Structure 1
Amino acid sequence: MRRDNAAWIPLLLFLAGASLVLAGLLELPAAIFHPAAAGLGLAVLLLTLLWKRRQERRESDFANSVLRTLDALMNGWEPENFHPYEDSPLSKVQGKLLQYHDQTQAGQRQHEADKQAVQELVSDISHQVKTPMSNIRMFTDILRQHRLPEEKRAEFLSGLSAQVDKLSFLIQSLIKMSRLETGTFTLHMEDASLYDTIAQAVSGILAMAERKHIQIDVDCDTHETLRHDPRWTAEALGNLLDNAVKYTPEGGSVRVSVRPWPFYTRVDVTDTGTGIPPEHYHDVFKRFYRAQSSAAAEGVGLGLYLARGIITRQRGYIALKSEVGSGSTFSVFLPR
């Protein structure tokens, strides 16, 4: 009904004005003209007041609707009388409010996820540092408080040195992980020899491989060139090789083979180790993950996590294929 009344207001104003003009043109007698003009003027005034009041009521209704929408969003309720497909000012404002609310909620969820991730990281680091620190304290107390034969003293000193090395390795790994997760490390992409990068990675595990009598084979064209970061890629491949040697029994073998594909260059690191069950393919790339079967092996569970992060940031990816008891193949795909 209000819309119908409002639609007549402009028409009535037009008719009132036209009547006044017509009365003047026809030169009606003053006795007729003045009462008519007064009546029309009063009608115009009344209609103007009605129109103004209606506008105020519409503005009040609009403001109340916006406030009800805000109240609903702040209380987690679904806004009432929301028609997103209507082309009206109220629907547009409600739509923007809902969009802002969704963005705010998404930001809050991300904040909570980041907070949870930091808490888990601190817990993981505390757990990892606790063991070598306890061992260092134990060896130190024994050496300080007891008179030991020289042979036994040398044994405890060797154990103490090993724990210090483990703690140093853990700290270095945590620094790399921190740089990786916060994006503070910089990739220096260049057209470089992939053979040289692999050679650098292999050099880091040769001593351990020789102690276990594990044969290392590399099948890569010496002229193979690829756009990559040599230092960080060698770090990633070195972690894969370290993992392969670590879980391969004495007398086994590890092979690195390179195959150019149309869009990627594939680097396979294949071992004859214990293998990984399919249900743990995803788990081995998690931070600090250690399988129960590998509890006796050295490591902190960051190598594969760092390797995947480094390769991913070069727009590549790592795939895994394994068979329990027969070994594993980690395939690195780097874009050509």
Structure 2
Amino acid sequence: MKILTNKKIKDLFSRILICILVFCVITAVIMTLVTKNAAIYIFLCSLCMAVAILIVCYEYFKEQHKIIEDAALQITEYISGNQNARIECDYEGELYRLFHEVNSLVSILNAHAENELRAKEFLKNTIADISHQLKTPLAALNIYNGILQGEAENLPTIQEFTDLSEQELDRIEMLVQNLLKITKLDAGTMVMEKAEENVSEMMASIERHFLFRVKKEEKKINLSGNDDITLLCDRNWLMEAISNIVKNSLDHTQRGKEIHIEWKQFASVVQVNIKDNGSGIHKEDLHHIFKRFYRSHFSKDTQGIGLGLPLAKAIIEAHNGTIEVDSELGIGTIFTINFLIPTKL
């Protein structure tokens, strides 16, 4: 029987069998030697046997309970991040076979995790190398384009083409930078240096960053919020995320329109809202705008590269935040960002 391959179960049955055999021997002796009150003696013996069997069973199940508790503790340790956690399975039997399979599964998961980490590291290094290699030709193309612009001051057609090529070069440079950033986030190699930052100051810096474009396009950015609200974050990365969202709003807002950036604090979250009264987002696109390189069939925007919003989402989630979007065609769009305030215990 397979169940008897477990030494502990075999010992349990052996002890119970010994108790029964001892009871049988004592009963036989009583029936042979004692004629008066033999039934009472047999009853007492059977009671002692039952108590002995209960004690044996209790000890066995107590030990089994401890084994399972230790196994559960090791599984919890592994879930908590200890990749070296293993369940002891030095004996034979179905339970220890199960423990062995769990240990095998842990080893397989560790191997997959290591392979995935190596793949992400390889991807990060590859994109970093590509972006580094692109810097030199991009810089040269920008110089050549600048020379052409200088030589074409009195040639409107050539001037127009050099302006267009400058825009395309800027797009390529932005694409390379965003690819490098989002790959580092995916690989988990980007360290977030978090500190208490004033939200009002960060929003004011973002407004100054877009000041030239806003004036040129006759648009407006309005800021509103409490000057005392702070947030535990990496200032540069979080400003990058919100700037990408503001840029997206400016890209889809016509001349004379406005962008509203509002921040407020609740009991457990700091919330940032970025609202525009631009063209809005089609309802079929709402569930896809955070996908990389996603281009809407309904949008007239031909300048976007489809990485700004996915990068913003990745940065916000790295700050334990969430981002949601609500939009209506012809009315406008609002991005709602919530950052959980760490609980101080």
TM bucket, shorter chain: 0.5 to 0.7
Indicate whether 1:89 and 2:106 are aligned: no
Q: Residue 255 of structure 2: which of 250, 255, 260 is its match? A: 250
Once the two structures are superposed, residues 106-146 of structure 1 have per-residue CA deviations (whole angstroms, 9 ceiling, x without a partner) of 567768988999999999xx9xx9xxx9xx8xx99xx8xxx
Looking at structure 2, the residues matched to 294 and 119 of structure 1 have their Cα atoms a distance apart, in angstroms, of 35
- The aligned runs of 1:142-161 (5 Å cut-off) are 150-161=155-166
What is the TM-score when the length of structure 2 is the normalising length? 0.59
How far residue 267 of structure 1 moved from its aligned partner, in angstroms, is 0.8
Contact 2:226 2:264 in 1 (8 A): no
Q: Give the structure 1 partner of residue 83 of structure 2.
A: none
Looking at structure 1, the residues matched to 237 and 255 of structure 2 have their Cα atoms a distance apart, in angstroms, of 29
Contact 2:282 2:298 in 1 (8 A): no
Q: Residue 259 of structure 1: which of 250, 258, 264 is its match? A: 264
Indicate whether 1:327 and 2:327 are aligned: no
State the percentage of identical aligned residues: 23
Q: 1:281 to 1:113 in 2, by over 3 A?
A: farther
Indicate whether 1:276 and 2:281 are aligned: yes
Once the two structures are superposed, residues 162-207 of structure 1 have per-residue CA deviations (whole angstroms, 9 ceiling, x without a partner) of 2221111111111211221122222222222111111122222233
How far residue 278 of structure 1 moved from its aligned partner, in angstroms, is 4.1
How far residue 268 of structure 1 moved from its aligned partner, in angstroms, is 0.4
Indicate whether 1:207 and 2:212 are aligned: yes
Q: Residue 241 of structure 2: which of 221, 227, 236 is its match? A: 236
Q: Give the structure 1 partner of residue 176 of structure 2.
A: 171
Counterpart residue type for residue 297 of structure 2: Q
Contact 1:267 1:332 in 2 (8 A): yes
Q: Residue 98 of structure 1: which of 77, 97, 101 is its match? A: 101
Q: Give the structure 1 partner of residue 298 of structure 2.
A: 293
Looking at structure 1, the residues matched to 114 and 300 of structure 2 have their Cα atoms a distance apart, in angstroms, of 34
Looking at structure 1, the residues matched to 234 and 115 of structure 2 have their Cα atoms a distance apart, in angstroms, of 34
Counterpart residue type for residue 249 of structure 1: Q
**Does the residue aligned with 2:242 lie in a helix, a strand or coil?**
helix
Unpaired stretches in structure 1, ≥5 consecutive residues = 12-87
Counterpart residue type for residue 177 of structure 1: I
Q: Give the structure 1 partner of residue 226 of structure 2.
A: 221
Q: 1:107 to 1:189 in 2, by over 3 A?
A: closer
Q: Give the structure 1 partner of residue 201 of structure 2.
A: 196
Counterpart residue type for residue 310 of structure 1: I
Contact 1:264 1:335 in 2 (8 A): yes
Counterpart residue type for residue 265 of structure 1: V
Contact 1:202 1:241 in 2 (8 A): no
**Does the residue aligned with 2:197 lie in a helix, a strand or coil?**
strand
How far residue 271 of structure 1 moved from its aligned partner, in angstroms, is 0.7
Indicate whether 1:310 and 2:323 are aligned: no
The CA RMSD measured in Å over matched residues stands at 4.0
Counterpart residue type for residue 227 of structure 2: T
How far residue 95 of structure 1 moved from its aligned partner, in angstroms, is 1.0
Once the two structures are superposed, residues 46-67 of structure 1 have per-residue CA deviations (whole angstroms, 9 ceiling, x without a partner) of xxxxxxxxxxxxxxxxxxxxxx
Looking at structure 2, the residues matched to 107 and 153 of structure 1 have their Cα atoms a distance apart, in angstroms, of 59
Q: 1:100 to 1:225 in 2, by over 3 A?
A: closer
Counterpart residue type for residue 252 of structure 2: Y
How far residue 335 of structure 1 moved from its aligned partner, in angstroms, is 2.5
Counterpart residue type for residue 315 of structure 1: N
Looking at structure 2, the residues matched to 112 and 280 of structure 1 have their Cα atoms a distance apart, in angstroms, of 34
How far residue 91 of structure 1 moved from its aligned partner, in angstroms, is 0.9
Looking at structure 1, the residues matched to 212 and 241 of structure 2 have their Cα atoms a distance apart, in angstroms, of 18
Looking at structure 1, the residues matched to 157 and 259 of structure 2 have their Cα atoms a distance apart, in angstroms, of 37
Contact 2:229 2:264 in 1 (8 A): no
Looking at structure 1, the residues matched to 116 and 282 of structure 2 have their Cα atoms a distance apart, in angstroms, of 30
Once the two structures are superposed, residues 214-235 of structure 1 have per-residue CA deviations (whole angstroms, 9 ceiling, x without a partner) of 2211002223322222211111
Larger Rg: 1
Counterpart residue type for residue 325 of structure 1: G
Counterpart residue type for residue 322 of structure 1: S
Q: 1:154 to 1:322 in 2, by over 3 A?
A: closer
